[in-house]
A and B are shown apart, each in its own frame.
Chain A
Amino acid sequence: MLDNLTQRLTKVVKTLRGQARLTEDNIGEMLREVRMALLEADVALPVVKDFIARVKERAVGQEVLDSLTPGQALVGVVHRELTELMGGQSAGLNLATQPPAVILMSGLQGAGKTTTTAKLGKWLKERQKKKVLAVSCDVYRPAAIEQLKAVSQQAGIDFFPSSGDQDPAEIAAAALDYAKKHYYDVLFVDTAGRLAIDAAMMAEIKALHAQLQPIECLFVVDAMLGQDAVNTAKAFNDALPLTGVILTKLDGDSRGGAALSVRHVTGKPLKFAGVGEKLTGLEEFHPERMASRILGMGDILGLVEEAQRNVDQDKAKDFMQKMKSGKGFDLNDFKDQIAQMRNMGGISSLLDKLPAQFGAMAQQAGGAVEEKSIRRIEGIINSMTPLERSKPELIKASRKRRIATGAGVQVQEVNRLLNQFEQTQKVMKQFSKGGMAKMMRGMKGMLPGMR
């Protein structure tokens, strides 16, 4: 499953190596692979067809750079086109109206409307200091109103109570009135999930739209959606003047081709992406990353961001200080480093984000085993006394025996850890003496491809 487009194309173009241009002849077969990759990523077929035609137009005649194979060159074109297709108009919510700015949420059942409402509310409240009110017009699903009430509370936004025996229009009118009288900046109107073919329900939301005149009418769509995304998006787009799309459940492992389908059909900007169940799990939409994801090329940027988010900045600064001063890198720091790595979700979650071919390689090198041995290292360090941790040179045979028993491992394991630590310490010393440049020179021989 992990084989990515670049790899597959490479297979196809083995015979093509050395061709200087992409021509109609040599990309035919490759485009077929692109088509399959897109279909597997759940991009809808009509969209795929349009897209392939577009790529073909752009790609033919392109020079293949020296360092690239024709396959890589084509992937470059595909990636660029995808990014362009999904990007364009800037994201963000438009609230430039006489308050309250009404935001209407629409979508299928189970798309994540209610959760997204709370996430957006929290986002507006915290980032833009808006006074936010949320109201639920979902009088159909049991406990839908309670759900919005609960998540609103968690998000710290105000909730306008409604009940299941009221009429949605009535609720909306009352909420709007309340929002006006209490000077709210933003009013979120959550609606019931509906199928686009359910004429009665679509008429209801149309009426709601006419009544509320929302400045933003958002379409919430599940990133896992399949081929049918086109029909759904089209139907909603026809019925409602949508102003934007929010993609949810992007933290799953779907490739998210629905993003492209929806964007293509509605022409409306993808404004936000929902990741995770926590109310902070809302990101601005990054077309470039989405393109990589659809093509199965991994999310390196996401990885970097996650690292930034999870690494404790203060601790990192402390650590840098220590490294610079050239002494005092002890087992405590060693353990901190390991703990930080674990904070980032452990090795296996890092592997998931790597491009497919690296991921597969790392997996072969024993990703899962690694995780275990890291836990073991932590265990061993935890079995040492604070003094031993700060002065590892104290640890001799009898202490080693005690530590080994405490951690439930063999003495050899303790030795291995100490060796490992010593090596790290050496590197750190080198680093503090000669700085980066020297270290890089030292590593030259070790890593291929570094000059």
Chain B
Amino acid sequence: MFGFLKKKDGTAPAAAEANKPSWSERLKAGLARTRNALGGGLGGLFGGAKIDAELLDELETTLLMADCGVEATQWLLGELKARVKRERMESPAQLRAALIEVLQELLTPLEQPLDVANHSPFIVMIAGVNGAGKTTSIGKLAKHFQSQGHKVLLAAGDTFRAAAREQLVEWGRRNDVTVIAQEGGDPAAVVFDAISAAKARGIDVVLADTAGRLPTQLNLMEEIAKVRRVIQKAEPSGPHEVILVLDANIGQNAIQQVKAFDKAIGVSGLVLTKLDGTAKGGVLAAIARQCPKPVRFIGVGEGIDDLQPFRVEEFVAALFDDATA
């Protein structure tokens, strides 16, 4: 669980060193299904003798099945074909290497880890559609920042859904983190209180939950925009990060979600959850093409440690790992 620590400052304690393999194992395990669908399918593909139309067709199918979307798939294929021509590739193994390369190039701009050290309190606002996993992600994020040595405070801004507050309070109890909550009331008011409390108590990171909403609910989108404005009022430099939580199971609507939330509250980072299912997370490719936003974390399991910083190389490698085996 100290894997990220180690990556960050390179002064990992011995315990973290021992934990490291378990970290990448966990990532691999979490993405195993993704790999089986994408890489596994590709492994068989690349076993053939030469690059032909059939292979490219199959490749298209696999990418589409991974939720890459029509546009991104066609772009990836176009890019691949151009490379095949330019570099006179002949063996499928070369094509595989090229695909890894293209995917990495496409996704690399999305890899921007979140640095919470430059403001105090660092205010993170979390938004998303209903059931994307916002509250659960906040619980995991709290743990993550805590283990980095930050003091964390949670704001229960979801005043609408039944028992959302209790859910966050429970996460707070598990992590031993203060939760600012109000009986009913206005989400913006809760968040305002939380920021004042954070300043008074010398808190490093404030995580503000919001109620889930679909982008088509215009008045609810307006409400969330208000939360953002109130944060700005409470702390003129904030919010320092606006995270949109996306469910990896969601299809092409994810793009609409990113665009709509970006318009309303200016999204500055994404968290992709539920990657441990059979979903492929290929929608990241579509996002990278159509509305690139940094991916801060990915959720690969239900455990409290299963939220990991997004690293392209590992993500792509995990997809293709042992695909040729």
Which A residues fall within an 8 A CB radius of B?
A: 1, 36, 39-42, 44-45, 108-112, 114, 140-151, 154, 195-197, 222, 224-229, 231-232, 235, 249, 251-255, 257-258, 276-277, 348-349, 352
Cβ-defined partner of B214 (8 Å) among A41, A140, A253? A253
Q: Provided the pairs A224-B251, A228-B280, A257-B251 are in contact, do residues A249 and B163 lie with their beta carbons within 8 angstroms?
A: no
A226 to B33, CA, bound (A): 15
Smallest CB–CB gap between A154 and chain B, Å? 7
A224 to B218, CA, bound (A): 18
Cβ-defined partner of A225 (8 Å) among B164, B215, B250? B250
Provide the residues of chain B in CB contact with A349, threshold 8 Å: 218
Which B residues fall within an 8 A CB radius of A?
A: 33, 61, 64-67, 69-70, 129-133, 136, 139, 160-167, 169-171, 174, 214-218, 247, 249-254, 256, 260, 274, 276-280, 282-283, 302
Contacting pair A252 B253 (CB below 8 A) = yes
Smallest CB–CB gap between A157 and chain B, Å? 13
11 A-B pairs (CB sep. < 8 Å)? A36-B70, A109-B131, A114-B162, A141-B167, A142-B170, A149-B163, A195-B274, A197-B278, A226-B252, A253-B260, A254-B251
**Closest Cβ neighbor of B213 among chain A residues:** A277
Starting from the known contacts A143-B165, A143-B166, A143-B170, 12 additional A-B residue pairs (CB-CB under 8 Å) come to A110-B274, A111-B131, A142-B174, A144-B167, A147-B164, A195-B274, A197-B33, A222-B249, A227-B282, A232-B277, A253-B214, A253-B215
Smallest CB–CB gap between B65 and chain A, Å? 5
Contacting pair A144 B250 (CB below 8 A) = no
Provide the residues of chain B in CB contact with A235, threshold 8 Å: 278
Provide the residues of chain A in CB contact with B215, threshold 8 Å: 252-253
Provide the residues of chain A in CB contact with B161, threshold 8 Å: 147, 277
Contacting pair B129 A252 (CB below 8 A) = yes
Contacting pair A227 B65 (CB below 8 A) = yes
A-B contact count (CB 8 A): 152
Cβ-defined partner of B249 (8 Å) among A1, A148, A232? A232
**Closest Cβ neighbor of A253 among chain B residues:** B216
Q: Provided the pairs A40-B69, A197-B277, A228-B277 are in contact, do residues A1 and B256 lie with their beta carbons within 8 angstroms?
A: yes
**Closest Cβ neighbor of A111 among chain B residues:** B131
Smallest CB–CB gap between B143 and chain A, Å? 14
Smallest CB–CB gap between A247 and chain B, Å? 13
Cβ-defined partner of B216 (8 Å) among A40, A227, A251? A251
Q: Provided the pairs A45-B65, A110-B131, A232-B278 are in contact, do residues A224 and B250 lie with their beta carbons within 8 angstroms?
A: yes
A195 to B32, CA, bound (A): 14
Contacting pair A231 B278 (CB below 8 A) = yes
**Nearest 8 A/B pairs, CB to CB:** A226-B251, A110-B131, A42-B251, A142-B170, A150-B162, A147-B163, A143-B166, A254-B253
Contacting pair A277 B160 (CB below 8 A) = yes
Provide the residues of chain A in CB contact with B67, threshold 8 Å: 226-228
Provide the residues of chain B in CB contact with A36, threshold 8 Å: 70
Contacting pair A42 B162 (CB below 8 A) = no
Cβ-defined partner of A109 (8 Å) among B256, B274, B280? B274
Contacting pair A143 B164 (CB below 8 A) = yes
Provide the residues of chain B in CB contact with A224, threshold 8 Å: 129, 247, 250-251, 253
Smallest CB–CB gap between A226 and chain B, Å? 3
Q: Provided the pairs A147-B167, A227-B66 are in contact, do residues A222 and B278 lie with their beta carbons within 8 angstroms?
A: no
Provide the residues of chain B in CB contact with A45, threshold 8 Å: 61, 64-65
A110 to B277, CA, bound (A): 13
Contacting pair B249 A225 (CB below 8 A) = yes
Q: Provided the pairs A110-B132, A112-B130, A228-B67 are in contact, do residues A352 and B253 lie with their beta carbons within 8 angstroms?
A: no
Contacting pair A110 B70 (CB below 8 A) = no
Smallest CB–CB gap between B166 and chain A, Å? 4
A65 to B302, CA, bound (A): 56
Provide the residues of chain A in CB contact with B160, threshold 8 Å: 277
Smallest CB–CB gap between B98 and chain A, Å? 23
